Amino acid sequence: MRAIRLEKMSLKDLKDLEKKIRSAINHTKERERKEVRAKIEDLAAESGFSVDELFARGRNGARGRVVAPKYMNPENASETWAGRGRKPKWLVSRLKRGAKIEQFAL
């Protein structure tokens, strides 16, 4: 793998790279989550159970599930929003100033 010389990159290029890295991390997490789930389903099936039987959560089982972020604050990459629930303050203030939500998409 070729070394990237970050100090030679422009701010725009660094931000683009950061978006690509965040996206790659999210895709990798999702892929690995699916792989682990498949392993758990296989193990449960070998023992004569389904995953739902082992981890029954009732009617609100989906509540609290983590969703990958869809939007990011360009001024603070740790501030993200998945597009669900109330918009975060950083996004609301930017939208009020005329920004378009697409500008923050990952």
Domain ranges within the chain, ordered by starting residue: 10-57, 69-106
How far apart are alpha carbons 67 and 73 in whole angstroms? 17
Task: Using the predicted structure, report yes or no on whether residue 3 has a pLDDT greater than 70.
Answer: yes
Q: Provide the Cα torsion 21, 22, 25, 31; round to 10°.
A: -120
Task: Using the predicted structure, report yes or no on whether residue 2 has a pLDDT greater than 60.
Answer: yes
pLDDT for res 54: 82
CB-based contact 73:104 (threshold 8 Å): yes
Where residue 99 falls among pLDDT bands split at 50, 70, 90? very high
Task: Using the predicted structure, report yes or no on whether residue 15 has a pLDDT greater than 80.
Answer: yes
Task: Using the predicted structure, report yes or no on whether residue 90 has a pLDDT greater than 90.
Answer: yes
